[in-house]
Amino acid sequence: MEIDNTPGGIPRLGVTILASGSSGNCTIVHYGNQAVMIDAGLSCREMQRRFRQCRCLEGIEIQGILVTHEHTDHISGLRTCSEKLEAPIYATANCARTIRAKDSKIKQMATFAAGGSFDIGPFGITSFSIPHDANDPVAFIITVNEQRIGIATDVGYVSSTVEYRLKACDALVLESNHDINMLAASARPWSLKQRIMGRNGHLSNDSSAQLLEKIIAPNTRKIVLAHLSHECNTQEKALECAGQAIHELRRNDILLTVAQQEVPLETLWLEAGE
């Protein structure tokens, strides 16, 4: 059975998270048969395997790969994916330099300034700086037909830029990395705990929920909690924390889900005027 991505000639806008977490990150934003990939932290083979699992991605053309930062869980399949898909890579200049130092065989990368905007096909891309222990890391807002999709993981703390940029998205993919108590009680070395909790580490469930209270707007419909720690979080804890924030805003109409490490998450569809 063919999946129709353009019912009645109108392209559908979707977000499909192929993987999320410290073992690999890869998200596809697709509009009809056009798409951009955000991070390529899966091997090309695994990326293609997951692609095939998602029927709605059949026949989709990746027009560019946007890189948030150079940590392995975001770029491990970058070169091979970009070659196989014949898709150009977009990264900040400092990030591109760091990637090239890790992999000299990587082809030309298009660079952009953090905070700047550019278009790839029908996708309006706005990047913004995030606090994280990487070289000029960014998160993205992707806009198609006035629908705003915010994608922000690996965020050390909620800076004013992060809060400002993520306001009033129709759909949000937001890090909810760890439960503070689980992290404190874990067997991880103190230095690693400090790194994760620090201002250039990862966003806790509590910080993520506090941010949601500030950025959810009447048009916000779908929220995916992402980059959950395997050891220091559970889906239940992350959902409970964010769910409480949404409940306090009396926004029980918002769909709240959790992105997975091992399997693609069911596609989120954004319907115009929804």
Considering beta carbons, is residue 69 or 79 the nearer one to Zn ion?
A: 69
Minimum distance, C-beta of residue 252 to Zn ion, in the bound complex (Å): 31
The verdict on 202 binding Zn ion (CB under 5 A) reads no
Minimum distance, C-beta of residue 76 to Zn ion, in the bound complex (Å): 11
Site string for Zn ion, 27-66 (x = CB under 5 A): ----------------------------------------
Minimum distance, C-beta of residue 134 to Zn ion, in the bound complex (Å): 6
Query: Looking only at residues 69 through 108 of this chain, which bind Zn ion when binding is defined by CB under 5 A?
Result: 71, 73
Distance CA 40, CA 138 (A): 15
Minimum distance, C-beta of residue 110 to Zn ion, in the bound complex (Å): 21
Size of the residue set binding Zn ion (CB under 5 A) = 3
Minimum distance, C-beta of residue 146 to Zn ion, in the bound complex (Å): 30
- Residue 59: partners with Cβ closer than 8 Å, 6 or more residues away: 5, 33
How close are the terminal C-alpha atoms of the chain, in Å? 27
Considering beta carbons, is residue 39 or 179 the nearer one to Zn ion?
A: 39
Tokens linked to 115 = 């905070």
- Residue 143: partners with Cβ closer than 8 Å, 6 or more residues away: 123, 124, 126, 149
Contact between residue 126 and residue 150 where contact means Cβ atoms under 8 Å apart: no
Angle formed by the axes of helices 78-85 and 44-53, nearest 10°: 60
Site string for Zn ion, 127-156 (x = CB under 5 A): ---------------------------x--
The rounded Cα 269 to chain-centroid distance in angstroms is 15
Q: How many CA atoms lie within 13 A of 258 on its CB side?
A: 24
Considering beta carbons, is residue 12 or 71 the nearer one to Zn ion?
A: 71
Nearest residue to Zn ion, by Cβ distance, number only: 71
Query: Looking only at residues 151 through 180 of this chain, which bind Zn ion when binding is defined by CB under 5 A?
Result: 154
Q: Tell which residue, 75, 88, 14, 90, has the closest CA to residue 44.
A: 75
**Residues binding Zn ion (CB under 5 A):** 71, 73, 154
